[in-house]
Chains A and B, each alone.
Chain A
Amino acid sequence: MAIDRTGTPLVEMENMCISFGGIRAVDDVSVNLWPGEVVGLLGHNGAGKSTLIKMLSGAYHADRGTIRINGEEAHIHNPRDARRYNIETIYQTLALADNLNASANLFLGRELVTATGLVDDARMEAETARIMARLNPNFRKFRDPVSALSGGQRQSVAIARAVYFNARILIMDEPTAALGPHETQMVSELIEELKRQGIGIFLISHDIHDVMKLCDRASVMKNGQLVGTVDVAKVTDDDLLGMIILGKHPGQHAAA
């Protein structure tokens, strides 16, 4: 499916910079994302891809750079700000409170309340059952703390949390790292469905095959800098590997 890149991008991150203790974790990186598009972020551990994306999700605050959502400058200082722009994140660590059950985690920070202002656990559980029926029909453990769930079940709780609140921009940090083949397939199908709904997705991954299969474009980072952004349909696995390992843009061949 072709992506219409003529209109305003959903997300523009321009000249993003952030340093930690004198080390430039992200150095003047610009990426963008159109509706219905999946952009892969590739690179070694420590290349800066998670750090870059945490400036969009509100976990970090950029030293320099501009973020625009639908063409308008967005000020994201914390995760609450990001949620206001309908940015949802599935963290690699999943960010679940292990002592709480699935619905308490799904609604964490956005609890449904009764008329008297008390948390409405019955309604939250019913809503959790509704979205889980769509994402992971085999899910049954609604009452147990999530520490009692398998890796795949925990992942589906984290995904449900991001999808339930009508995200327009979704960030997935290694969404399939802990999953078996069947569950990985389910995540792929979900991504296809979300694309059709016009949601833009940043997908952080180590796995070139995942990126080749799921993404429309790929941005490769190395040592905190952007190597380049390529159209996935126009490059090979080897081209991407060259970018990741050598920091070499495939376009450099053509120029040479």
Chain B
Amino acid sequence: MAETTGAGAAPKRGFLKALEIDTRLLGMIGAFIAVCLVFNLMTDGRFLTARNIFNLTIQTVSVAIMATGMVFVIVTRHIDLSVGSLLATCSAVMAMMQTRWLPDMLGLEIGHPLLPWLSILSGLAVGGAIGAFNGWLVGYLTIPAFIVTLGGLLVWRNVAWYMTSGQTIGPLDPTYVAFGGINGTLGPAASWVVGLAATAVGVFALVSARRAKVGHGQPVKPLWAEVVLAALIAAAILGFVAILNAYDIPSARLARIFEARGETMPEGYTEGYGIPYSVLLLIFIAIVMTVTAQRTRLGRYIFATGGNPDAAELSGINTRLLTVKIFAIMGVLCALAGMVASARLANHSNDIGTLDELRVIAAAVIGGTALSGGIGTIYGAILGALIMQSLQSGMAMVGVDAPFQNIVVGAVLVLAVLIDIIYRKRTGAS
């Protein structure tokens, strides 16, 4: 038995080594696939339907957006416990803006095309400002981030409550609601175009990276490994698009859409949803944050400060201002997450984002962000968010009682950190 595994493992390791895929990433993908397969078995195949995968995707977006920012916060050895409350404040601002304040103050009527955009801009400004304020308290006044954001957890939750008098604010503007997921999708044709374009960009990135390495005389992986990698990227992107396209819009709703256009729906007509705008937003944020992390000075300083704050300071990096920037980014991302979350529900509710700080931190940590600082990836955090959401939805579908769901999620977070500690000890990574 042991011999078989040993013999099987050796060439496999060579294969994976040639692909140069991070073992940690593989582990996370493996865990995600395992979670999906187990729930699929337990729900008699209901978990891996186009409908459920679509729902899972749009439910993940809000937490995943914040998790990308939490990577920067944790990499610099800070923490942000106020993200759920900050989301609520931003969501409240955006909801109040479009339903009360802008109509009252500027006289814009409900349904005015500027309303959603002005609301979103104010939400982003408020999120960025509160985040920068948090960063100032942490960076310049040297109050520990744990305390600043623990206070913020209470403060911003209740600022949101005060602004809305605790009421549910809605209905929200239809354009705004399109960012929530199911009410705003690309449709099958445009989704295929986006999928093919993304595949092309991915393959182009592989080719140009290889050219650059050859140009600088650096070693490259074998050509077959690049081809396999390109094929995997294409399969993942196009497979994902195919699944989102396969989820059909209910016929009653389609009929209403046709009616609104003044047409009648042909008999037996079907149409898939395609990629939701919220997912496009997440992909855009993921790309921007990854480029920031890996290819900008800001990202370099974030990781350097996480690795050795004194060295960063002595290298002339203004670590205080850096802290302000990191928390400001976190604040803007909370606003975007708040937009997606309230748009998905089509209203702002008083308890929106409650306990999201736990989900966001868990997503980042499960995704490989080290609490000791200096290490973390954006894609890892998004995958972490996906794993957390799959666990939660899967348990709900299986019929696990709510208290047990939360107990499992909490335990998984602790277990993930333990596995991470063991992994780092084994591989000798700091």
Chain A positions near chain B (C-beta within 8 angstroms): 57, 59, 78-80, 83, 89, 91, 93-100, 104-105, 108-111, 113, 117-119, 121-122, 125-126, 145, 147-148
Contact stretch, chosen from B43-51, B64-72, B297-305: B297-305
- Is A93 touching B316 in the complex (CB atoms < 8 A)? no
| Cβ of A75 to closest chain B Cβ, rounded Å | 15
- Is B314 touching A97 in the complex (CB atoms < 8 A)? no
With a cutoff of 8 Å between Cβ atoms, the chain A residues found around residue B375 in the complex are 99
- Is B314 touching A59 in the complex (CB atoms < 8 A)? yes
Q: Interface digits, B302-319 against A, CB 8 Å rule (1 contact, 0 not)?
A: 011111101111111110
Interface membership of B355, Cβ < 8 A: no
Give the distance in Å from the alpha carbon of A91 to the alpha carbon of B312 in the complex. 13
Total residues of chain B contacting the partner, CB 8 A: 29
Interface membership of B152, Cβ < 8 A: no
Which of B291, B308, B318: most chain A CB closer than 10 A? B308
With a cutoff of 8 Å between Cβ atoms, the chain A residues found around residue B303 in the complex are 97, 99-100
13 CB-based A-B contacts, threshold 8 Å: A80-B318, A97-B304, A97-B308, A97-B312, A98-B307, A98-B308, A100-B303, A109-B312, A109-B315, A117-B296, A118-B291, A118-B296, A119-B297
Contact A99:B317 (CB < 8 A) given known A111-B300, A118-B291, A122-B216? no
User: What 20 new A-B contacts, CB under 8 Å, besides A97-B305, A109-B312, A111-B297?
Assistant: A57-B314, A59-B313, A89-B314, A93-B311, A95-B315, A97-B308, A97-B312, A99-B375, A100-B300, A108-B312, A109-B301, A109-B315, A111-B300, A117-B296, A118-B291, A118-B295, A119-B295, A122-B212, A122-B218, A147-B430
Give the distance in Å from the alpha carbon of A96 to the alpha carbon of B430 in the complex. 14
Q: Interface digits, B327-341 against A, CB 8 Å rule (1 contact, 0 not)?
A: 000000000000000
How many residue pairs link A and B with beta carbons under 8 A? The number is 81
- Is A79 touching B216 in the complex (CB atoms < 8 A)? no
| Among B212, B295, B300, contact of A108 (Cβ-Cβ < 8 Å) | B300
Contact A99:B306 (CB < 8 A) given known A122-B216, A125-B216? yes
Give the distance in Å from the alpha carbon of A131 to the alpha carbon of B428 in the complex. 29
- Is B300 touching A80 in the complex (CB atoms < 8 A)? no
With a cutoff of 8 Å between Cβ atoms, the chain A residues found around residue B428 in the complex are 148
Chain B positions near chain A (C-beta within 8 angstroms): 212, 215-216, 218, 291, 295-297, 300-301, 303-308, 310-318, 374-375, 428, 430
Give the distance in Å from the alpha carbon of A222 to the alpha carbon of B165 in the complex. 67
With a cutoff of 8 Å between Cβ atoms, the chain A residues found around residue B212 in the complex are 122
- Is A79 touching B307 in the complex (CB atoms < 8 A)? no
With a cutoff of 8 Å between Cβ atoms, the chain A residues found around residue B310 in the complex are 93, 95
Give the distance in Å from the alpha carbon of A18 to the alpha carbon of B77 in the complex. 31
- Is B296 touching A97 in the complex (CB atoms < 8 A)? no
| Among A83, A98, A104, A119, contact of B316 (Cβ-Cβ < 8 Å) | A83
A142: nearest residue on chain B (CB-CB)?
Answer: B218
A104: nearest residue on chain B (CB-CB)?
Answer: B300
Give the distance in Å from the alpha carbon of A212 to the alpha carbon of B300 in the complex. 41
Give the distance in Å from the alpha carbon of A148 to the alpha carbon of B307 in the complex. 13
| Cβ of B121 to closest chain A Cβ, rounded Å | 25
- Is A99 touching B307 in the complex (CB atoms < 8 A)? yes
B308: nearest residue on chain A (CB-CB)?
Answer: A97
- Is A113 touching B314 in the complex (CB atoms < 8 A)? no
- Is B216 touching A126 in the complex (CB atoms < 8 A)? yes
Give the distance in Å from the alpha carbon of A147 to the alpha carbon of B314 in the complex. 18
| Cβ of A144 to closest chain B Cβ, rounded Å | 11
| Among A96, A117, A126, contact of B311 (Cβ-Cβ < 8 Å) | A96
Give the distance in Å from the alpha carbon of A147 to the alpha carbon of B307 in the complex. 10
Give the distance in Å from the alpha carbon of A98 to the alpha carbon of B428 in the complex. 13
- Is A96 touching B300 in the complex (CB atoms < 8 A)? no
With a cutoff of 8 Å between Cβ atoms, the chain B residues found around residue A59 in the complex are 313-314
With a cutoff of 8 Å between Cβ atoms, the chain B residues found around residue A125 in the complex are 216
Give the distance in Å from the alpha carbon of A78 to the alpha carbon of B314 in the complex. 8
| Cβ of A102 to closest chain B Cβ, rounded Å | 13
